[in-house]
């Protein structure tokens, strides 16, 4: 038994079932999100012929089972009841560039079955490949799919079933955003984490903070302010840059034995926003946006008298940033200790 197995909570809710008709994009989603495959390389993926399961270790240990579109899971040879009873989320992929009426009939049939076996299952529908649709058409398609699904569920007497819809594409960050929200529903400790992140934002004057899974760029938690996709993109790209730089320096000095320090990176963008990244536990990184004023007296500091040569604001900003970062460092240390406790508690409870 390896150390991961020992630490893994026996939580079968962290299983995701990925379903949908053939060529909808299921394998591509798995490859892009969890294996960092370039979206264009998915063009050459072969059709999946049998169910495949992949495991990912993050804050929670996640298993994603892909069921190929061409198989009929309601044949007696499949133990569908067992499959559905063990999953936390059913993710159904609809190809929005194709005729989708058959997919909607198939989806309703699956929801009816899944809900009967496991009423706690989260039902998540990806309206996928939206990169091929115009802005207006995307919203029309979403409205149509939601309407038709609602009607079908009403006919089946399942009007109370909660279904969430996401517009996604592997060619932009929408698929990561959707998976982030889907996976967050499976993290039992989410309310505590959000609360901790809200406190961090409040006491460190952060603009936004994410707890990212570094490998997949999924955020497993964020503070309660709304997420805008551009902020997400900037933070996700900052992780890539940090990792590239980190491995560059690690390999650069072969003579020195590798001491694996905690990764930390701070960078100020041209618009004055500072990005702050700190490595956490279990493949997670905390990424925060910090906006610092350039007023001289924000932290009660002395007024810097080099206004005439135009450096006044810059000097104030730098000084305030240093003070802010010292506070943030301290608070992030406290957060990390809290995160370790949350994880420890989750292990004991399970
Ligand atoms: N335009 C576009 N094409 C996509 C997207 N996602 C996947 N595709 C393409 O869709 C095709 C089918 O993708 P797959 O991932 O093999 O589909 P699948 O659902 O796994 O198919 P089966 O294995 O047959 O069940 C591939 O050519 C992908 O490149 C997307 O977001 N946008």
pLDDT of residue 209: 93
Nearest CA to ligand 1 atom 12: 23
Q: What is the CATH architecture assignment of 3-184?
A: 3-Layer(aba) Sandwich (3.40)
pLDDT of residue 94: 94
Q: Best substitution site from 27, 28, 177 to test ligand 1's pocket, by max atoms within 8 Å of Cβ?
A: 28
Q: Same topology for domains 3-184 and 190-349, yes or no?
A: no
**150-197 tens-digit pLDDT:** 999 998 888 888 999 999 999 998 999 999 999 888 888 888 889 999
> What is the whole-number distance in angstroms between the Cα of residue 24 and the centre of ligand 1?
5
Q: Best substitution site from 25, 43, 97 to test ligand 1's pocket, by max atoms within 8 Å of Cβ?
A: 25
* Sequence ranges of the domains in the chain: 3-184, 190-349
3-state class percentages of the chain: helix first, strand second, coil last, to nearest 5: 45, 20, 35
pLDDT of residue 215: 84
pLDDT of residue 301: 44
Share of the chain above pLDDT 90, in %: 27
**20-54 tens-digit pLDDT:** 998 889 999 989 988 888 999 888 887 777 788 88
pLDDT of residue 128: 95
Is pLDDT larger for residue 262 or for residue 345?
A: 262
**255-277 tens-digit pLDDT:** 544 445 677 788 888 777 889 99
Q: Residue 299 above 50 pLDDT? A: no
Place of tokens 């080099």: 306
CATH of 190-349, one of 3.30.450.190, 3.40.50.200, 3.90.1150.10, 1.20.120.80: 3.30.450.190
Please state the atom number of ligand 1 nearest to the C-alpha of residue 49.
Answer: 23
pLDDT of residue 315: 64
ipTM, interface predicted TM-score of the complex: 0.97
Q: Enter the tokens of residue 268.
A: 């100020």
Q: Residue 57 above 80 pLDDT? A: no
Contact 66, 26 (CB under 8 A): yes
Contact 151, 105 (CB under 8 A): no
What number is the average pLDDT over the span 289-300?
A: 59
137: three-class secondary structure by DSSP = helix
Q: Best substitution site from 45, 73, 96, 179 to test ligand 1's pocket, by max atoms within 8 Å of Cβ?
A: 45
């Amino acid at each position: 038994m390896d150390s991961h197995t020992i630490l893994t909570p026996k939580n079968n809710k962290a299983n995701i079932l990925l379903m949908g008709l053939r060529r909808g994009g299921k394998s591509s989603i798995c490859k892009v999100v969890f294996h960092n495959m370039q979206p264009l390389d998915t063009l050459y993926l072969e059709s999946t012929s049998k169910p495949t399961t992949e495991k990912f270790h993050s804050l929670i240990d996640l298993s994603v089972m892909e069921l190929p579109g061409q198989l009929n899971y309601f044949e007696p040879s499949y133990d569908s009841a067992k499959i559905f009873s063990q999953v936390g989320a059913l993710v159904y992929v609809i190809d929005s560039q194709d005729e989708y009426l058959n997919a909607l009939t198939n989806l309703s049939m699956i929801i009816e079955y899944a809900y009967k076996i496991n009423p706690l299952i989260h039902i998540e529908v990806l309206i996928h490949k939206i990169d091929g649709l115009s802005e207006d058409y995307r919203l029309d398609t979403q409205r149509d799919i939601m309407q038709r699904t609602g009607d079908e569920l009403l006919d089946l007497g399942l009007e109370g079933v909660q279904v969430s819809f996401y517009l996604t594409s592997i060619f932009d960050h929408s698929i990561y955003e959707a998976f982030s929200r889907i996976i967050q529903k499976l993290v039992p400790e989410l309310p505590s984490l959000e609360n901790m992140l809200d406190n961090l934002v409040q006491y460190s004057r952060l603009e936004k903070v994410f707890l990212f899974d570094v490998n997949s760029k999924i955020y497993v938690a964020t503070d309660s302010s709304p997420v805008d996709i551009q902020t997400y993109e900037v933070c996700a790209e900052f992780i890539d840059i940090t990792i590239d730089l980190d491995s560059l320096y690690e390999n650069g000095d072969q003579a020195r034995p590798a001491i694996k320090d905690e990764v930390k990176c701070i960078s100020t963008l041209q618009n004055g926003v500072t990005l702050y990244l700190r490595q956490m536990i279990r493949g997670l990184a905390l990424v925060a946006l910090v906006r610092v004023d350039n007023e001289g007296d924000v932290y009660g500091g002395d007024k810097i008298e080099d206004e005439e040569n135009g450096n006044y604001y810059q000097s104030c900003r730098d000084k305030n940033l240093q003070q802010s970062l010292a506070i943030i460092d301290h608070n992030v240390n406290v957060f990390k200790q809290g995160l370790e406790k949350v994880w420890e508690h989750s292990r004991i409870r399970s």
